[in-house]
């Protein structure tokens, strides 16, 4: 080949490369996925966030989104994908369709957990690095003390209820995460709303090797609410740390409420609800007493279907183990009859065991689903 011929071939090759580059730049980084309904789009969005995608493009029929303006649609998308704290999206609407390009922002606890797993903290802020250090140190401490995921979970639950104060007075913004919604603020300053509680629980449980997630929905008053989900032995349960931190030490109320600790859909009834299109995982239909009300591990309660057997247990825990606060579950009981309970416990203490000293106690109870009651007995005098 002559030099002239070589030069012509090279120019043609260079031109072809240039054309290919122009075509590549003209294409989107990821093609839009088309869906027939919002439910399908929500499910795909959850899959994308599990992969930690940084750009997500959806196309929907105009009829599927006609009820929502752009801001309302953004809110629905965030609620359907609870790993996200917020998102930025651009919408192109035509007579027939809507194309939505999403740039997600993942929750602080999610990003910190991912950074710890990868060993690359460069994308975290200075305060997030400090919060992560606190979380890692606490996770190491708890893992050294407890053997099972159930014990670790309860220890994390108790730690957060002890460390955090519920705050919900901030002004929320669309372009940044309000501090009280983050694990960062929860761990550094001890203040959080339901998002902050859940984010901190996610971070600590993830660091301990527990499979956890989030669920958006509504509380018993119909307010927007966020809680966690946890996988135990292949089944998913709800864990609401915010509801757990419901006591007030100044009034003598119990500091921790376990009514929504590892709750199946039965125990969520009347307390937590969510539309199916928000559902991040399918919860077990029934709560399993073994995941909290288990007589085996220390600091765990037990379950009874007979009030006399329950009262014997409450006495034995104080007399034999020195427990001043005892949790238990009474099944087949939608609401505790306090008069019957006190009379039965007095009979056990005075007539059955013939306790030699004066006793006094206080009891609190919470509905656990439709036909069970969670209770806490505090022995004041024994």
pLDDT digits (tens, 9 = 90+) for 200-240: 999 999 999 999 999 999 999 999 999 999 999 999 999 99
**What's residue 248's pLDDT?**
64
Q: Apex CA 73: angle with CA 67 and CA 77, to 5°?
A: 130
Claim to verify: residue 199 and residue 259 sit in the same structural domain: yes
Claim to verify: residue 235 and residue 250 sit in the same structural domain: yes
Average pLDDT in the chain: 90
Pick from 290, 297, 282: which is nearest to 235 by CA? Answer: 282
Claim to verify: residue 213 and residue 234 sit in the same structural domain: yes
Claim to verify: residue 248 and residue 371 sit in the same structural domain: no
Residue 290 is classified by DSSP as G
pLDDT surpassing 80 at residue 185: yes
Claim to verify: residue 217 and residue 121 sit in the same structural domain: yes
* CATH code where residue 201 lies: 3.10.620
**What's residue 302's pLDDT?**
85
What is the pTM assigned to this prediction?
Answer: 0.84
Claim to verify: residue 133 and residue 99 sit in the same structural domain: no
Claim to verify: residue 265 and residue 127 sit in the same structural domain: yes
Do strands 261-263 and 302-304 pair parallel, antiparallel, or not at all (unpaired)? unpaired
Rounded-to-integer distance, Cα 286 and Cα 303, Å:
15
| pLDDT (mean) for 16-21 | 52
Claim to verify: residue 282 and residue 325 sit in the same structural domain: no
Range scoring the smallest mean pLDDT among 42-51, 119-128, 321-330:
321-330
Count Cβ atoms below 10 Å from residue 363 Cβ, excluding itself: 16
- Contact criterion met (CB below 8 Å) for 319 and 343: no
Better-predicted residue by pLDDT, 371 or 192: 192
- Contact criterion met (CB below 8 Å) for 239 and 215: no
Residues in contact with 125: Cβ distance below 8 Å, sequence separation at least 6, in sequence order: 184
* pLDDT tier, 142 (very low <50, low <70, confident <90, very high otherwise): very high
Better-predicted residue by pLDDT, 147 or 139: 139
**What's residue 16's pLDDT?**
53
- Contact criterion met (CB below 8 Å) for 56 and 102: yes
- Asked if residue 15 is part of any domain, the answer here is no
Residue span of the structural domain in which 100 resides: 33-106
Pick from 298, 302, 324: which is nearest to 146 by CA? Answer: 298
- Asked if residue 9 is part of any domain, the answer here is no
Q: Domain tally for the chain?
A: 3
- Asked if residue 11 is part of any domain, the answer here is no
- Asked if residue 161 is part of any domain, the answer here is yes
- Contact criterion met (CB below 8 Å) for 372 and 263: no
pLDDT surpassing 80 at residue 263: yes
**What's residue 300's pLDDT?**
76
Instruction: Give pLDDT tens digits for 231-261.
Output: 999 999 999 999 999 766 566 566 688 889 9
What tokens does 317 get?
């825990």
pLDDT surpassing 60 at residue 331: yes
Bridge partner residues of 229 (DSSP): 213, 238
What tokens does 318 get?
């104080």
- Asked if residue 277 is part of any domain, the answer here is yes
Q: What percent of the chain has pLDDT above 70?
A: 87
Q: What is the helix (H) or strand (E) element at residue 106, kind and residue range?
A: strand 97-106
* CATH code where residue 368 lies: 3.40.50.150
């Amino acid at each position: 080949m002559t030099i002239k011929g070589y030069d012509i071939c090279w120019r043609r090759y260079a031109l072809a490369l240039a054309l290919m580059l122009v075509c590549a730049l003209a294409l989107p980084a990821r093609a839009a996925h088309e869906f027939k309904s919002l439910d399908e789009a929500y499910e795909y969005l959850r899959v994308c966030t599990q992969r930690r995608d940084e750009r997500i493009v959806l196309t929907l029929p105009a009829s599927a989104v006609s009820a929502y303006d752009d801001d309302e649609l953004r809110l629905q998308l965030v609620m359907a994908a609870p790993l996200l704290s917020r998102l930025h999206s651009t919408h192109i609407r035509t007579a027939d369709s809507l194309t939505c390009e999403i740039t997600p922002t993942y929750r602080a606890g999610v990003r910190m957990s991912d950074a710890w797993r990868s060993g690359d903290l460069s994308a975290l802020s200075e305060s997030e690095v400090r919060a992560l250090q606190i979380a890692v140190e606490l996770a190491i401490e708890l893992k050294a003390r407890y053997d099972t995921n159930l014990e670790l979970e309860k220890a994390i639950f108790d730690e957060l209820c002890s460390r955090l104060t519920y705050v919900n007075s901030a002004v929320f913004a669309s372009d940044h995460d309000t501090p009280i919604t983050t694990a960062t603020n929860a761990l550094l300053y001890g203040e959080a709303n339901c998002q902050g509680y859940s984010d901190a629980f996610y971070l600590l449980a993830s660091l301990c090797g527990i499979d956890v997630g989030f669920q958006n929905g509504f509380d018993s008053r119909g307010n927007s609410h966020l809680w966690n989900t946890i996988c135990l032995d292949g089944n998913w349960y709800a864990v609401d740390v915010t509801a757990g931190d419901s006591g007030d030490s100044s009034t003598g109320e119990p500091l921790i409420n376990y009514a929504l600790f590892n709750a199946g859909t039965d125990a969520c009834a009347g307390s937590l609800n969510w539309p199916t299109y928000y559902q991040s995982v399918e919860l077990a239909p029934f709560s399993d007493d073994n995941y909290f009300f288990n007589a085996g591990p220390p600091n765990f309660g037990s379950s009874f279907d007979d009030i006399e057997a329950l009262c014997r247990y409450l006495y034995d825990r104080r007399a034999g183990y020195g427990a001043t606060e005892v949790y238990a579950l009474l099944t087949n009981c939608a609401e505790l009859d306090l008069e019957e309970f006190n009379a039965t416990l007095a009979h056990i203490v005075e007539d059955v065991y013939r306790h030699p000293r004066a006793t006094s106690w206080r009891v609190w109870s919470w509905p656990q689903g439709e036909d069970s009651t969670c209770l806490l007995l505090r022995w004041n005098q024994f």
